[in-house]
Amino acid sequence: MRIDNLKDKIVLVTGASKGIGKAISIAVAQSGAEVILVARDEEKLKQVKEEINHFKGEAVVIKADFSKENEVIQLFEQIKKKYQRLDVLINNAGVASFGNTENFPLEEFDKIMNVNIRSVFLACQKAIKLMKEKNNGYIINISSVVGFKGYNKQCAYGISKHGVMGLTKSLAVELQEQNIRVSAILPGGVYTDMVADARPDLDPSVLIDPKEIAHTILYLLSLWDTNAAVDQIYIRRNKSKPF
């Protein structure tokens, strides 16, 4: 799947080294965007860049740890210096760990909040500044079905993904006049390392392919210049219960 309104757009994808973020990065590059690939694992990011360059797509690698405020700030300083703009921010980097609430370590809670919500908030702050200068932009946040309903032993992760929904809904209203769109995607189980590690009970053959999430991103971006705005898309596994 390709769309035709991404040519020469600068798209930042966090968590681009593997899983959903890698699939999104390849898909937007195939549609002609220049992709800024961000995560901690520089080697894996370089491999994604090579895949993109292989089909003559454009990508740059910037290593940044989203549990560290200064690294998020430095990332946006580099983007401002190199491009003086940012067209699309895709907040995809995320971590998950599960357990009963009563025994859940607070250090683990803080780690999840830092990566999944605090740095996402900070990235939005920095992106908005760049987007406002051009009076145009699109922020897409990867939440989860866990940001919509409650799941056993997923309290901390659930709080972070509900937080992403609060951020998305608030910004969608706040930025409307600046012509900056904000949407969220809420996927169910997608076949990535995160799910393989956390939910070995799930049969991989019934999980969502990361490419389907990438196609959903393209669908949202294809509506960018139209009168239709999609605030959130809930994607569940075909074999799971509707809502």
Ligand X SMILES: NC(=O)c1ccc[n+]([C@@H]2O[C@H](COP(=O)([O-])OP(=O)(O)OC[C@H]3O[C@@H](n4cnc5c(N)ncnc54)[C@H](OP(=O)(O)O)[C@@H]3O)[C@@H](O)[C@H]2O)c1
Taking contact as CB under 6 A, which single stretch among the options 86-94, 97-105, 124-132, 172-180 is the one that binds ligand X?
86-94
Q: How many whole angstroms from its chain centre is CA 203?
A: 24
3-state helix, strand, coil in the chain (%, to 5): 50, 15, 35
For tokens 């992760």, the residue is: 157
User: Nearest approach, Cβ of 54 to ligand X (angstroms)?
Assistant: 20
Report the residue number, 15 or 163, with the smaller CB distance to ligand X: 15
Binding-site string for ligand X from residue 122 to residue 151, where x marks contact by CB under 6 A and - marks none:
--------------------x-x-------
The only residue of 10, 12, 28, 66 in contact with ligand X, by rule CB under 6 A: 66
The only residue of 10, 75, 194, 214 in contact with ligand X, by rule CB under 6 A: 194
How many residues belong to the site for ligand X (CB under 6 A)?
29
110 is a contact residue toward ligand X (CB under 6 A): no
Q: From CA 150, how far away is CA 185, in angstroms rounded?
A: 17
User: Nearest approach, Cβ of 22 to ligand X (angstroms)?
Assistant: 7
Q: Which long-range contacts (CB under 8 A, 24 or more apart) does 55-58 make?
A: 55/29, 55/30, 57/26, 57/29, 57/30, 57/32, 58/29, 58/33, 58/34
Is-catalytic flag, 157? Answer: yes
Q: From CA 125, how far away is CA 127, in angstroms rounded?
A: 6
User: Nearest approach, Cβ of 91 to ligand X (angstroms)?
Assistant: 8
Report the residue number, 39 or 220, with the smaller CB distance to ligand X: 39
Dihedral of CA atoms 203, 105, 122, 221 in degrees, nearest 10, equals: 10
By CB under 6 A, name the binding residues for ligand X. 15-21, 39-41, 44, 65-67, 92-96, 115, 142, 144, 187, 189-190, 192-195
